Structure 1
Amino acid sequence: MAIGTTGRQPSTKQRAGARAEHKQRTRTAIRQAAMKLFAAQGYAKTTVEQIAEEAQVSHTTFFRYFGSKELVVISDDLHDEVIEAFESIEPGLSHFDLVRRMVSTMYTTAANDPWASDPARMALIRSEPALHTRYSLEADQSISDAAQMISDYTGVGVDDLRLKTFIWAVAGVLFHISEDTADPMEPGTLDTLMAAIDLLEAGLPLR
């Protein structure tokens, strides 16, 4: 330790934590600046340069955090947290109980995150064709990732028609529930999702 200093040097863990906090603050500042500009002048008319200036970061910094204007809105930073939760699911669940756990995990994680659950964010995604298209592509990738996890968990090949049909049925129902809900994060949506999975497991009874 240098002469004239007191205390211990920050540990590697502390430095990593400080960097993570700085990164999150910067991402949040960029998102807040973007949403402010989108509300004031519209999504299409807002440029990356304007967002960077409003957030008080450089053009280079913007692209270090987000690959495009679309990703400022689409990305939610929850992937690692969700995957960690998925990996902790105990073995032995049925494929329907596994899906219930996965859906409830994704919903709860998003609902507890201020950005992912922001109604203005979802309203913007739904109203802007470019964002809606990109969001759909991201959703398709999430479905593919979920299919691979279910395949690994159950031991049924990812290309097996039985698994593919199961994934298509569940994904289609859940997608339409989300699309038909004004705010997918509103109270009661998770109950509706769970009820739909119950109906699928019961063989889609009408009475």
Structure 2
Amino acid sequence: MPPTDRNLRTLAPLGLRERKKAQTRDAIQRHALRLFRQDGYSATTMEQIAAAADVSPSTLYRYFATKEDLVLQDSYDEIVAAVFRAQPPETPPLEGLRLAVHEVLTSIDPEDRAEAAERARLSFTIPEVRGRALEHMLTTADVIAELFAERLNRPTNSLEVRVLSGSVIGAILGAQQLWITDLETDLLDLTERALQCLIDGPTALTGP
């Protein structure tokens, strides 16, 4: 689930200290992506990124422990979770998640949507990033399972909750796999449509 942080935080306001940290994190990530475009991911070092962002290497590593994290790390999960929890408790979990994702995605301006798509592309096309991306998706699955367990009043590790959260991850992967074959399509729109497929169930297969 890849959108960038800057617009997402309007849905979950931060204190002054956290805002400053978030601004530093955003700046580092923007410089890293610029260098990846300019010189290639493999050729870019953490030291070069720190210099470009005008921070010390220790500061860089405090925000991003690995180079892969510069591509994968964002606040998407926590923002979606906050929006999901703010919904009426009777909202079905899949519909609630789709609505939360829609609210978050529509808060992102075109520049940030392009950056989100760029990070998603890197996570699919660079082998070492792709491997770490699986770990991030498993973490996202845990977040979704917790949200669904709360909504359904069931244990987080119940089979039903885990299957439901895993189906969401599968839907997101399906959207990303389709997008990577045609980068001109809108990844965020595909993600929302993929979640709608889960809600529609078998009837989704009867359409075009």
1:52-99: CA deviation from partner (whole Å, max 9, x where unpaired): 112221112212222222112211233443232122111112233234
Aligned residues: 189
Matches within 5 A, 1:11-22: 17=16, 19-22=17-20
Structure 2 equivalent of residue 148 of structure 1 = 146
2:70 is matched with which residue? 72
TM value normalised by structure 2? 0.74
The residue that corresponds to 1:12 in the other structure is none
| Map of 1:59 onto structure 2 | 57
Distance of aligned partners of 1:138 and 1:63 in 2 relative to their CA distance in 1, 3 Å threshold: same
Q: How does 1:6-155 map to 2 (within 5 A)?
A: 17=16, 19-105=17-103, 107-108=105-106, 111-112=108-109, 114-115=111-112, 117-118=114-115, 119-155=117-153
Farther-moved stretch of structure 1 (144-153 vs 74-83)? 74-83
1:5 paired residue number: none
Q: Which has the higher helix share?
A: 2
Q: Quote the offset at 1:194 in angstroms.
A: 4.4
Q: Which residue of 2 aligns with 1:199?
A: 200
Per-residue deviation at 1:191?
5.2
The one-character-per-residue Cα deviations of 1:125-168 (angstroms, maximum 9, x if unpaired) are: 22111111212211111111101210111112333333333333
Task: Report how far residue 187 of structure 1 moved.
Answer: 6.6
Backbone CA RMSD of aligned residues: 2.8
Moved over 6 A (4+): none
Contact 2:171 2:191 in 1 (8 A): no
Displacement, 1:106?
Answer: 5.0
Mapped partners of 1:40, 1:26: distance in 2: 21
How many Å separate the matches in 1 of 2:93 and 2:23? 39
Higher mean Cα deviation, 77-86 or 112-121? 112-121
* Match of residue 174 from structure 2: 176
Residues 66 and 44 (structure 1), Cα distance of their counterparts in 2 relative to 1, 3 Å cut: same
Uncovered stretches (5+) of structure 1, i.e. residues with no partner: 1-15
CA 50–187 in structure 1, closer or farther in 2 if over 3 Å, else same: closer
> Could you say which structure has the larger radius of gyration?
1
Identity of aligned residues (%): 22
| CA deviation after TM superposition for structure 1 residue 203, in Å | 6.1
Structure showing greater relative contact order (alpha-carbon pairs closer than 8 Å, 6 or more residues apart): 2
Q: SS of 2:50's equivalent?
A: helix
Which amino acid counterpart does residue 48 of structure 2 have in structure 1?
Answer: Q
Unaligned 5+ segments in structure 2 are: 1-14
Mean Cα deviation higher: 78-87 or 34-43: 78-87
* Helix, strand or coil at the partner of 1:153: helix
Give the partner amino acid of 2:120.
M
Give me the whole-angstrom Cα distance separating, in 2, the residues matched to 1:116 and 1:67: 24
Q: 1:125 to 1:115 in 2, by over 3 A?
A: farther
Q: Quick one: distance in 2 between partners of 1:79 and 1:168?
A: 15
Deviations 1:5-35 (A, max 9, x none): xxxxxxxxxxx52x44443332233223212
Q: How does 1:181-192 map to 2 (within 5 A)?
A: 181-182=179-180, 183=183, 185-186=186-187, 188-190=189-191, 192=193
- Residue matched to 2:8: none
Residues of 1 paired with 2:94 and 2:103: CA distance?
14
TM-score, normalised to structure 1, is 0.75
